[in-house]
Amino acid sequence: MSVSLIDQMGTDLTVVNAARVSFAKSSDWVSENKLKNSDVSLIQYLAKHGHWTPFSHCTATFRIKAPIFVARQLFKHKVGLTENEISRRYVETEPEFYVPETWRGKPDNKKQGSSGIITCTPKLIHNLEKSYATLKDLYFQMLEQGIAPEQARMILPQAMYTEWYWTGSMVAFSRVCKLRMSEDAQRESNDIANEISRKCKVLWPVSWTALEIQW
């Protein structure tokens, strides 16, 4: 899985001036990428008291690679976010399948999530690899038979990797990370959210830190 920054707009100063425009005021950098102490305090105040609109004027676009089951979970987040995903109606590249480094056990006390590490038998791993190979081979057989890609793709599993552009405001990605970086979030989604958070903290160090504290 991977998260790549494609584009971004806005800085910590954008957040400050989006807030200060209410009083017909603006601020400037003290030096390169350094805010005045009063502007840092303002950002912290905005985050603490839930004044989220100034943070929405900063945006980022990521290109993300993850299994379909992770993408579908993340796509539940809609407000302030737009996604465009690779489509197998148009491409016929070789499918790539996700295999976890470790397998997690089912928790005893709830219906979702996981707990601990499970050691799988060599037979199970062999059957998994065999199933992936069989489905991939069948997919290409269907294409060779002239079946439309939009139908042939139906046999490919949720473990197949997909890629998408994901554009959103700072506050929208903050909401994603708040939920998907929590202890009860799915590990794979947690990994993606952590990487988004790391990149956002580089883009907007003061603002992202202020939002992060409120999680």
Which of 63, 104, 180, 198 does the annotation list as catalytic?
A: 180
33 sits in the region (left: phi over 0; alpha: psi -120 to 50; else beta) called left
The residue written with tokens 């003290």 in the block is 30
Alpha-carbon dihedral sign for residues 189, 195, 199, 202? positive
DSSP state, 214? Answer: T
50: left (phi over 0), alpha (psi -120 to 50) or beta: left
C-alpha torsion 7→193→17→11, nearest 10: -40
In whole angstroms, give the CA distance from residue 109 to residue 113. 10
180: annotated active-site residue: yes
How many C-beta atoms surround the C-beta of residue 78 within 10 A?
10
Q: For residue 117, count CB atoms less than 10 angstroms from its CB and return exposed for 0-12, middle for 13-18, buried for 19 or more.
A: exposed
Rounded CA gap, 196 and 167, in Å? 12
Active site residues: 180
